[in-house]
Amino acid sequence: MPGPHPPISKIKKDDNGSRQAGQFDHGSHLSKDGKTFFFFRHFSIRDQIYLGTILVFFFALVMILILILNNNRVQKQMKFLGFVNDFSLEIQQARRYEKNYFLYGTNLDDALENIHMAESIFIKESEEFSKLLGGKQALQKIPDKILAYKTLLEQLYLLETKGKNRLSIKSFSKEDELKLRGFGRDILTSAQLMAAFEKANLEKTLFRFQYIYVYSFLILLVFLAINSYLLVIRLYSTFKQITIHAKRVSSGDFRPIILRQKVRDEFTGLLTSINDMLKKLDLRDAVMIQDHKIKAVGTLTAGVAHEINNPLNNIMLTVHMLLEDYNDLSKEEKIEMLGDIAAETDRSKKIIRNLLDFARESASTMESVDLSILLKDTLRLLESQIRLSGVQVDLRCAKKIPKIHGDAQKLQQVFINLLLNAMDASIKGDKIQVTGSLGDKANSVKVSVADHGEGIPKDLLPFVFDPFFTTKSKGKGTGLGLSVSQGIIAKHGGNITVESREGRGACFTLSFPIINFPENSIFSS
Amino acid sequence: MSKPLEILLLDDEVIVGKRLKPALGKIGCAVEVFQDSALAIKRMQEKEFDIVVTDIYMDGVDGMQVLDLVRKKSPRTKIIMITGHAMISLAREAMEKGAFDFIAKPFKPDDLKAVIARAAKALGAPIQFDDKKVGG
């Protein structure tokens, strides 16, 4: 096959005309269907799953990136916090030594060393420090203060190395000492401020971690839930539709499935295959209906062959008597006898024509059908069988049954089938009631065939429409009659039901929808 | 010829009686024709016939029941069955039930005449009928 869906015209050609007997309009449905398949976008279930997975993957990637960046930041902040800590420790140490110097005259060189260390730390991390202290101004301030502090210490150190007693250092005034201590305090305060600020920052970053975790998890959960929901809805609704169609198919309606699909997906392929299968089933069904009809024709032919013996006998007797007594008969008598012959030939013709009308293999033609006329014709066709079985068939039709749209020959096949079954179930003298009436809701026509035979056991009722199910003796029934009938009725959009009570008989009821056609009135005149 | 053969002819086809009555009359039979089996049975209660010719499939009481009735009521009466539904099984059933003969429709008046002649012979009241053209 070239594509997923073979062109309709081709199928019709393969299927040589005569086989169309059981065919109901398949083509238009399918071509519409086919177009739908071709024109709609392709978005398969697999695509949806892939797309969902890719989106989840990218989302996870972004999440990981954000977390890594945040992590880096924490690391940096912790490292910097370490530096700030070192810096303030150095400053604190320097101040302690400097204090010692003023109290005991020792440790001046240690203080100098500490302040050098602090300065080097600050220079190394100046960029970071500048951020923390609110721009260049602050950055300028700290090194200035460090420089001032260092300079004062160095001056002290110079005086010291010149061998002078700290008490004798008069040039280093009390004022300078206070200045020195002030600078030290300022630097320390700034360092502590920095540490506090950075600690707060770190806490903020850690808190952000928590946020990212919770929100990304929630978003992921919501996304997965939505995706799953959409996927389930899509699968569920399609499966539901297919299930409904499958039920329809099992009742013998082989019209193709048309799903309300917006996109092409895996189901499109499945549907194409199912519809292909349905088309083949429909063909096979048509063959089965035809086969079954041939069998029914066989049964009827035997009856008709016998039935025709009656008029034939009348003709034969009349002709022989005419030959024998020709000269003795009056003109009126001869005319009467010839009239009888004419009437009996006409009767023979009608008997045969009824059968031929039914037996003729004709293309399925859906037309306006008057069920009351069709039922009468059917009973005439079955006259011989009815006479043979010794049952009485009572036909009652409501006066004005709306016409239905259907295939008269196939419907007759159903009636024949039901009547032959009813006759089989009946014994001599039983009555079979055939009723034609308007349905309960007045939008349908009902035909029922009720017998007063043995009835169908309750446990067998669900199976009577199954193909090859029969209670008749071997060789008598094929078990296809009701199955074929159900198929035919389903194709008319109708349904067939059975009611039965054991020992009381069975009643099969057919229901057909009334379809309005604007061109002609549906009511029989 | 002494007394005519009394024949009852029962067939729901009007033409059968209409044609056979004069035909059988010509060979010395007194024929009473009925289309309704109930009326025929009623008549048979009143009078014993030599020969009963009956169709098998009729509305109401059918030929087989008539056969049973006649066999019960007057065993000497010969019964000839005629039917369009000529089936071996049906013929066998009729013969087993004691029918004198079984004729399938369509038949010629002479076919029936020949059977009636044989029946008359069996009854010990032979009638004049040349069945040369029928035999075989």
Cβ atoms of B50 and B80 closer than 8 Å: no
pLDDT > 50? residue A69: yes
Residue A369 confidence (pLDDT) = 87
**Helices (H), ranges, A308-330:** 309-324
Whether the pLDDT of residue A461 is over 80: the answer is yes
Interatomic CA distance for residues A481 and A294, integer angstroms: 12
- Would you give the DSSP letter of residue A459? T
Please say whether the beta carbons of A416 and A300 come within 8 A.
Answer: yes
Mean pLDDT across the stretch A25-38?
47
Residue B133: inside a domain, yes or no? no
- Residue of A299, A301, A317, A351 to mutate for B, most B C-beta atoms under 10 A: A317
pTM across the whole model: 0.61
Instruction: Say if residues A145 and A118 touch (Cβ distance below 8 Å).
Output: no
Residues 6+ apart with CB under 8 A from A257: A241, A242, A245, A271, A274, A275, A278
- In sequence order, what E strands does A251-410 have? 367-369, 392-397, 404-406
Q: Do B84 and A314 touch (CB under 8 A)?
A: no
Chain A hits for B85, Cβ within 8 Å: 306, 309, 384, 388
| Closest among B46, B89, B88, B93 to B67, alpha carbons compared | B93
Closest CA relative to residue A513, chosen from A383, A388, A404: A404
The count of C-alpha atoms lying within 13 angstroms of the C-alpha of A455, restricted to the half-sphere facing its C-beta, is 10
| Residue A128 contacts residue A195 (beta carbons within 8 Å) | no
Residue B104 lies in a domain: yes
Strands B51-55 and A495-501, sheet pairing: unpaired
Q: If you average pLDDT over residues A96-109, what whole number do you get?
A: 79
In this structure, is residue B105 part of a structural domain?
Answer: yes
Q: From A352, A399, A392, A351, select the one nearest A371 (Cα to Cα).
A: A399
Residue A163 has pLDDT above 70, yes or no: no
Q: Give the rounded distance of the alpha carbon of B112 from its chain centre.
A: 8
Is B101 within a domain? Answer: yes
Contact A494/A373 with Cβ under 8 angstroms?
no
Calculate the CA B50 to chain-centre distance: 9
**A462-502: pLDDT as tens digits:** 888 887 777 776 666 677 788 888 888 888 888 899 988 88
- Contact between chains at A306 and B85 (C-beta distance less than 8 A): yes
The CA–CA distances, whole Å, from B117 to A327, B54, B107, B114 equal 25, 16, 16, 5
**Could you write out the three-class secondary structure of A197-252?**
HHHHHHHHHHHHHHHHHHHHHHHHHHHHHHHHHHHHHHHHHHHHHHHHHHHHHHCC
Nearest chain A residue to B55 by CA distance is A310
> Is B128 part of any domain?
no
The answer to whether position B134 is within a domain reads no
- For residue A401 the two structure tokens come to 């049954």
Q: What domains, with CATH codes, occur in chain A? A: 61-211 (1.20.120), 364-525 (3.30.565.10)
Q: How many CB atoms lie within 10 A of CB A288?
A: 18
- Asked whether residue A412 carries a pLDDT value surpassing 80, the answer given is yes
pLDDT of residue A340: 95
- Which pLDDT belongs to residue A432? 92
* Three-point CA angle A71, A74, A78, nearest 5°: 145
A23: pLDDT strictly greater than 50? no
Domain that holds residue B112: 5-123
- Comparing CB atoms, the residue among A306, A307, A314 nearest residue B15 is A314
Looking at residue B110, its pLDDT comes to 93
Q: Choosing among B27, B53, B57, which should be mutated to test the A contact, i.e. which has the most A CBs within 10 A?
A: B57
Q: pLDDT tens string for chain B (136 positions)?
A: 467 899 999 998 999 999 999 999 988 899 999 999 999 999 999 999 999 999 988 877 888 899 999 999 988 999 999 988 878 888 999 999 999 999 999 999 999 999 999 999 998 878 777 655 443 3
Q: Are the beta carbons of A285 and A254 closer than 8 angstroms?
A: yes
**Nearest residue of A to residue B86, measured between CA atoms:** A306
Which of A183-187, A264-268, A444-448 has the largest mean confidence? A444-448
| B44 assigned to some structural domain | yes
For residue A135, is pLDDT > 60?
Answer: no
Distance between CA atoms of residues A56 and A48, nearest Å: 12
> CATH number of the domain that B83 lies in?
3.40.50.2300
Instruction: Select from B9, B18, B19 the residue whose CB has the most chain A CBs within 10 Å, as the one to mutate to test that interface.
Output: B19
Task: Look up tokens 């299968």; give the residue.
Answer: A277
- B136: in domain: no
Q: How many domains does chain B have?
A: 1
Q: What is the pLDDT of residues A311-349, one digit of tens each?
A: 999 999 999 999 999 999 999 999 999 999 999 999 999
- Render pLDDT for A383-397 as a digit per residue (tens, 0 to 9): 888 888 888 899 998
| Distance of residue A394 Cα from the nearest chain B Cα, in angstroms | 14
Burial of A515 (0-12, 13-18, 19+ CB in 10 A): middle
Spell out the residues 6+ positions from residue A194 whose beta carbon is closer than 8 angstroms to its own.
A84, A87, A88, A129, A132, A133
Q: Can you tell me whether residue A402 is helix, strand or coil?
A: strand
Amino acid of residue A109:
D
* Whether B109 and A324 lie within 8 Å, measured CB to CB: yes
Q: Is the separation of the CB atoms in B116 and B127 below 8 Å?
A: yes
Percent of chain B scoring above 70 in pLDDT: 93
Q: Has residue A517 got a pLDDT over 60? A: no
| CB spacing of A306 vs B108 below 8 angstroms | no
